Amino acid sequence: MTRSDPQQAFRQTGWPGLRTRLFHLYFVLRRPMTLGVRGLVHDRASNSVFLIRHTYVPGWQLPGGGVEHGETLVEALVRELAEEGNIALSAPPLLKSMHFNHRASRRDHVGLYLIEAFSQTTPKLPDHEIAEAGFFPLDRLPEGTTPATLRRIAEIFGGNQPSPYW
């Protein structure tokens, strides 16, 4: 009996996989080490978290993205939350953990922030990058939530020890 790999459903092949690898190659050539941020936006009142589904990669995941040259982690987080969710911080986010994202490249690291003080100006509508976005109760996350997203949620809310890997 073989054990199935939960990551397999989120691996890309064909043109989408090649496009993703080319995207990462561009950043490897442009920046020897890549650094990203993800935000776990938690609405305490409804005990829900904000997730996005991109147009170019499968699965529901936490909003975030790459840190640009001259940008701090928090500046990148603020930019990504505004772009991907129309979310504005009303208090500083809390850095919860750092992870080596070996699935993206041998050089990629991701900082995970917890955000509980925020406002959403308007619900995020689909666009060229974001297919869907919304708040989901912790006990009813959408089918297709990525394994990495599930691990981060379990680390923050379930008391699991943070993994050094994304």
How far apart, in Å, do the first and last CA atoms of the chain sit? 27
- Is a pLDDT exceeding 90 seen at residue 44? yes
Q: Is residue 166 part of a domain?
A: no
- Is a pLDDT exceeding 80 seen at residue 144? yes
- Is a pLDDT exceeding 80 seen at residue 74? yes
101-139: per-residue pLDDT in tens? 987 777 889 999 999 999 999 999 999 999 999 999 999
Q: Is residue 75 part of a domain?
A: yes
Average pLDDT, the chain: 91
The predicted model scores a pTM of 0.82
Confidence of residue 7 (pLDDT cuts 50, 70, 90): confident
Domain that holds residue 151: 35-157
More confident residue, 28 or 88: 88
Report the domain count for the chain.
Answer: 1
What local confidence, expressed as pLDDT, does residue 1 receive? Answer: 47
81-94: per-residue pLDDT in tens? 999 999 999 999 99
Q: Is residue 82 part of a domain?
A: yes
Q: Is residue 9 part of a domain?
A: no
- Is a pLDDT exceeding 50 seen at residue 146? yes
- Is a pLDDT exceeding 70 seen at residue 28? no
What local confidence, expressed as pLDDT, does residue 93 receive? Answer: 98
CATH number of the domain to which 83 belongs: 3.90.79.10
Q: Is residue 22 part of a domain?
A: no
Q: Is residue 16 part of a domain?
A: no
Backbone phi, psi, residue 65, to 5°: 175, -165
Q: Is residue 138 part of a domain?
A: yes
Which helix (H) or strand (E) segment holds residue 31: the answer is: none
What local confidence, expressed as pLDDT, does residue 118 receive? Answer: 98
Q: How far is CA 156 from CA 30, 55, 56, 108, in A?
A: 33, 27, 27, 21
